[in-house]
Structure 1
């Protein structure tokens, strides 16, 4: 297992390293193109890539810590660091999109209130769109291949794959739409060409903001300690029940949480006979190996109890009751 973890970390680290430098290049290219073309859409694209660059640095460090054994200062290990990263990554992306909406809205307000709006320069936009879309597609493929090679267990690589695709879609959509604006000259929409990029930004935001919102909702559930998906819970409970039956123990229930690529499983059982601590450890080791095969990396705890951990629970002293 240690060998697999080291190999997976190496694959993840290499993929994130490529992404880091590619996003740094795209961030500078986007900001430079925004300055040369006077386009808010290009500025948003550049800022999005800048967020991806900073995130890749943090992701590499967090990925190296996930799965490490507990320490005195981190008694539960570093597994929830991955969930925290994805949560705040989603919040930052949402923040960038909200900022972009504010900038675009300000430009539209200025135009309709009679203010001066800079005229777009389309030459740099065409070059930028072609180059950035190609890089984003390459990055998405790079992340997805690494995600598959690591057994589809890395929430970081999954998030980065989506981010690269969103960045590519943002560049493609904004570039294509901006380059089509000159063709509106002489039509009823001609007078509104100066704010065309602001309208495009708003449309793109409405199209893509649901992805980071959905990711944020999922990771927030993980942080809140909500049970893992029903399919994962069923596999874990079935494995625990099978091993308990083999050992002659009474299985009560299994509590299953998910933290990124890591699963936390607590099994409640009653041996119904005198057992040694070594026998409980043997049960845990056997079940841990099966869970590793069925649901992925797992931290397992076994609670020997006559109850199921729910029916005899009591409120803490001093807690309010209704």
Structure 2
């Protein structure tokens, strides 16, 4: 199975799971009207919609044209950047909304008692489903050497969702233990504020990192993943051997597409062109057993 087929199959499975989770989330939010739960549900629905886009991009990015002879792989980090930006917007908006509700309670003593009972069983189910799909995405990406920018983004995004679900469920359980007239009774009205803020603070670094890595790929920056970098360099050193001296190796990643530029000494009179072509062919043959889309270029310096 090709790397793209593995990626697309993973997204199809994730699509079905997110459809189930989104439906459950909307139903429970309708019953409780708790903002922290809305964050979690909206997050799942956003993942469902973006999963459809991911499948379309995965199928389209490999297509070549006269203008884009190497394919349209740029759409893959663009997808990751968009998904992370939407996540950050969602987290920020939710924080503002729950802050307004908490302000109304603490300043004007206006608020409604939170209905937390339906949340606990729902969140237990959601944590199991989210961790399952996150682990599935991660394992599928490992099958293709961690080459998929989109699977990596989805795996981390779904992991954030599981953290949100777990935090909301735990908080709901603890708040239910609080007597209404106790010193902590205000949590029965404002508990979703504290839970949402804590979840945002705990999870916000992940979309920021994904956004940073996506922009590095979009802007043509060098590969960040040291594991993949080492794999490529070991392969190059093995095949080039003592015949060709490699000064530097620059690896660039755009989605699933890898571009390798190998800097070699300007000793063209000593390097047989046929030998160089043979080594290039052998290097690509080995690399493409793990990474489907690889371009190799030798640069004399």
* TM-score interval for Structure 1 and Structure 2 normalised by the shorter chain: 0.7 to 0.9
Determine which of 30, 42, 56 is the counterpart of 1:35.
30
Q: Name the structure, 1 or 2, with higher relative contact order (CA <8 Å, separation 6+).
A: 2
Determine which of 38, 55, 68 is the counterpart of 2:50.
55
Root mean square deviation, CA, Å = 2.8
* CA deviation profile, 1:71-122 (whole Å, cap 9, x unmatched): 2132332222221111211111111111111111111111122153222112
* Aligned equivalent of 1:71: 65
Q: 1:301 aligned to 2:297?
A: yes
Instruction: Measure the CA separation in 1 of the matches of 2:139 and 2:239.
Output: 35
Per the alignment, do residues 251 and 128 of structure 1 end up closer, same or farther by CA in structure 2, a change over 3 Å counting? closer
Determine which of 159, 171, 174 is the counterpart of 2:153.
159
* Aligned equivalent of 1:314: none
* Aligned equivalent of 1:104: 98
Count of residues paired in the alignment = 298
Task: Report the secondary structure of 2:250's partner residue.
Answer: strand
* Aligned equivalent of 2:10: 15
Structure 1 length-normalised TM: 0.81
Per the alignment, do residues 212 and 279 of structure 1 end up closer, same or farther by CA in structure 2, a change over 3 Å counting? same
Q: Which one has a bigger Cα radius of gyration?
A: 1
Indicate the larger mover: 22-31 or 95-104.
22-31
Structure 2 length-normalised TM: 0.86
Give the alignment of 1:1-322 within 5 angstroms: 4-5=1-2, 8-66=3-61, 68=62, 70-114=64-108, 116-185=110-179, 186-229=181-224, 232-233=228-229, 236-237=232-233, 239-240=235-236, 243-244=239-240, 248=243, 251-269=246-264, 270=266, 272-273=268-269, 281-292=277-288, 297-303=293-299, 305=300, 308=301
Instruction: Measure the CA separation in 1 of the matches of 2:134 and 2:230.
Output: 32
Cα distance, 1:16 vs. partner? 1.2
Cα distance, 1:12 vs. partner? 2.4
Unpaired stretches in structure 2, ≥5 consecutive residues: none
Unpaired stretches in structure 1, ≥5 consecutive residues: 309-322
